[in-house]
Amino acid sequence: MSRSSVSPLVEDGTENEVGNAWTNGTAPSMTHEGFELPPLKTSNGTPLHGTPLAKRQTTETTKRPLEMTVSMEIEENEKGLSSLDYMKDIDMEFYALLGPLIKCMAFFGLWHGYVVDPLHNPPPKTRFKKIFNQKNYCILAQILLWFNTLRYAPAFFIGSYRDPIKIVPKVIFSIFTLQCALNSSVFFYCLSKKNKVSIFFHHFESAIQSNPVTAVDKKWLKRASWACTIVAIIFVVIHCLNQAANAYLPIETFRNNSLVFIAPMYYSSPLHVLFGIIFLFNFAAWIFPLLFFVLICIILSRQFVKLDLRIEKSLRKARIDGCFPKDFEVLRRQHEALCTALDTSNDGLFTYVNLVTYATMAPLAVFLLYRIITSPSYELGLSGWFFYWTWMINIFINVIIVSWIAAISSTKAHDPRERLFLVNLWNITNEEIMQMNVFLNRVSGDPIGYTIFDLVTITKPFILTIGGLLLTFYAIISEFNG
């Protein structure tokens, strides 16, 4: 049969009109309901009797938020376009529920929200707001934090501060203030120069929160946000009161210990007040990024656990029916949406925060452990031991929480792997085999989780490795000290 002996499914006029529409960019949206095509015709133009009307099925991207990904946003970013152009009117419910924590971070100069939610936080337009705005306030906070870090450099070479006994407190506070300044700078850089923070919130809203099945419980999320905020405020207040007690209580030992807060200057009440205000921003820059990371990890871990339960329920029903799970592709897309949220939050912010945490806290922990083992008890005194062990506990809490919470997120993302081996494969189609292979490759391939500057993924084996290194270091130092 020749190609010309069969007439097209669409008449010539209609075909030309549709073709021109796609050429000049006026094609109709693909989100409309399906429409009927004309019946098949014979070569002489008469319709075939009994031919059913062909129905063209269209995609339903607007009705299935789980299928929405960030591919369009990433593609636009590569072209230099704004990732918020086509989604600027989205209702940022998930972002709003994190409001208590984010507003406190903004108060301490760690967040400027119009980058993520431009609809409710428009960029400043008047000259006054262009000068006195949240972004410039963040810059001012960074200047204070970096000043507080750099002022410690002369303290290692001036006057009585050269006393070896005072070296350890200066090293501790130097590294602590460095971590705080780096945390603030990382947040400012990621919110100002990278689009993936906004991509994370927009993707989470459109692909996860907008679907009732996968949405985060609003009441729980609001309580969790308030709980993290209260914990952070209590932490900041306690450390500020501790600093004030050391500076102003009439106890000579405390007075001597308080000199490290204002080094390399000497004791002065106004200086203690000034640096007390600056340390308020330091303690906030230390605890808020940690709790923000913990909260996001817990949210994603809970969603992975709920998804795993839905997968288990679907597979159990499919085994009873003796067939392949009918909603397998939907579940796979839900898992991929959560993995995309984890990847974008990691690439956009947390991989840098984790780098700062490990690059500053790990060397400080090693240094403190060395001083505790090698220093005679009479040299440190009661206040010295209390000071060392307080900071040692703070460091280990910081590193352990970051490592363990991140490792739990990675484990929960890979949990569906064990379920997939129980899928019924009798009479499976090629399409279902492809869905199965894609899902298995995702959960069995490269580790899914948070990384340290994209160098290593934080997993449970990684935690065991770090713990083994510390124990080895402790054993070696103890042996040489003995």
For residue 339, CA distances in Å to 20, 122, 207, 293, 477 come to: 40, 30, 11, 16, 42
Cα(363)–Cα(354) distance, integer angstroms: 14
Give how far the C-alpha of residue 243 lies from the chain's centroid of Cα atoms, to the nearest Å.
32
| Backbone dihedral angles phi then psi of residue 105, each to the nearest 5 degrees | -65, -40
Q: Amino acid letter at 197?
A: V
Per the structure block, which two tokens stand in for 291? 């709790």
Q: Is the pLDDT of residue 190 over 80?
A: yes
Are 171 and 238 contained in the same domain?
yes
Cα(170)–Cα(160) distance, integer angstroms: 12
Are 377 and 425 contained in the same domain?
yes
Question: Structural domain tally of the chain?
Answer: 2
Identify which has the larger pLDDT, 71 or 192: 192
pLDDT at position 159, please?
Answer: 58
Can you tell me whether residue 133 is helix, strand or coil? coil
Q: Is the pLDDT of residue 263 over 90?
A: no
Cα(174)–Cα(176) distance, integer angstroms: 5
What is the residue range of 260's domain? 65-481
Cα(91)–Cα(210) distance, integer angstroms: 9
Are 104 and 128 contained in the same domain?
yes
Can you tell me whether residue 448 is helix, strand or coil? coil
Cβ atoms within 10 A of the Cβ of 362, count?
A: 15
pLDDT at position 252, please?
Answer: 65
Q: Is the pLDDT of residue 441 over 60?
A: yes
Which among 158-162, 195-199, 291-295 has the top mean pLDDT?
291-295
Q: Show which of 39, 59, 79 is a domain's final residue.
A: 59
Per the structure block, which two tokens stand in for 62? 């607007």
Nearest to 291 by CA among 414, 283, 387: 283
- How much is the CA Rg of the chain, to the nearest whole Å? 30
pTM comes to 0.79
pLDDT at position 178, please?
Answer: 94
pLDDT at position 161, please?
Answer: 53
Q: What is the mean pLDDT of residues 241-260?
A: 73
Q: Show which of 59, 75, 94 is a domain's final residue.
A: 59
Are 6 and 78 contained in the same domain?
no
Give the DSSP letter of residue 85.
S
Q: What is the mean pLDDT of the chain?
A: 79
Give the DSSP letter of residue 251.
-
Are 153 and 36 contained in the same domain?
no
* CA dihedral angle for residue 254, residue 390, residue 147, residue 129, rounded to 10 degrees: -110
In this prediction, residue 268 has a pLDDT band, given cuts at 50, 70 and 90, of confident
Contact 156, 162 (CB under 8 A): yes
Q: Amino acid letter at 253?
A: T
Q: Is the pLDDT of residue 257 over 50?
A: yes
Q: Show which of 59, 74, 109 is a domain's final residue.
A: 59
Residue 321, C-beta contacts closer than 8 angstroms, at least 6 positions apart: none
Are 53 and 73 contained in the same domain?
no
Q: Amino acid letter at 81?
A: L
Contact 72, 340 (CB under 8 A): no
pLDDT in tens, 324-347: 999 999 999 999 999 999 999 999
Cα(139)–Cα(142) distance, integer angstroms: 5
Are 33 and 169 contained in the same domain?
no
Nearest to 242 by CA among 224, 263, 260, 218: 260
Are 176 and 89 contained in the same domain?
yes
Q: What is the mean pLDDT of residues 374-382?
A: 67
Per the structure block, which two tokens stand in for 336? 């991929």
Residue that the structure tokens 């948070």 belong to: 450
Phi-psi region of 449 (alpha: psi -120 to 50; beta: other; left: phi over 0): left
Nearest to 321 by CA among 310, 313, 329, 333: 313
Are 211 and 336 contained in the same domain?
yes
Question: Which of 57-71, 228-242, 252-266 shows the lowest mean pLDDT across its residues?
Answer: 57-71
Q: Amino acid letter at 365?
A: A
Identify which has the larger pLDDT, 243 or 309: 309
pLDDT at position 271, please?
Answer: 84
pLDDT at position 387, please?
Answer: 76
pLDDT at position 81, please?
Answer: 33
Q: Amino acid letter at 192?
A: S
Identify which has the larger pLDDT, 23 or 466: 466
Are 97 and 239 contained in the same domain?
yes
pLDDT at position 40, please?
Answer: 45
pLDDT in tens, 415-430: 999 899 989 888 899 9
Can you tell me whether residue 249 is helix, strand or coil? coil
Are 158 and 27 contained in the same domain?
no
Are 35 and 108 contained in the same domain?
no
